[in-house]
Amino acid sequence: MTPDYSVEILKSMMSHIVMVAAPLLIAGMVVGLVISLFQAVTSLQEQTLAFAPKALAVTGILFMLLPWVVRTLVDYTTNIFETLPRMAQ
């Protein structure tokens, strides 16, 4: 396996990680921003008010996107296993 091929595999792995994690992180960030604005406007400083909606939003997005996440990761893993013989040469 050449160094260029190793770098290409790592680049592909990182792009898949970002692609799978981004919707969850964006959902948490948007909900956190909305809750923070609400807390700033109402002067309400309750910690559970910030955590619970973010946890629910991320969990909901995860369940909605779970088939896509699994399909993406299975396709990537299958691709890696199919290229294993070429890596050993």
pLDDT, one tens digit for every residue, the chain (89 residues) = 788 888 888 999 999 999 999 999 999 999 999 998 998 898 888 877 888 889 999 999 999 999 999 999 999 999 999 988 877 76
Position 13 scores a pLDDT of 93
Taking Cα atoms as reference points, which of 38, 60, 59 lies closest to residue 49? 38
Position 4 scores a pLDDT of 84
Position 49 scores a pLDDT of 81
Whole-angstrom CA distances from 38 to 12, 41, 44, 45, 53 are 39, 5, 8, 10, 12
- Scan for tokens 């559970």, then name that residue: 48
Q: What is the pTM of this model?
A: 0.78
Position 74 scores a pLDDT of 97
Position 15 scores a pLDDT of 95
- 30 Cβ contact list (under 8 Å, min separation 6): 57
Position 1 scores a pLDDT of 72
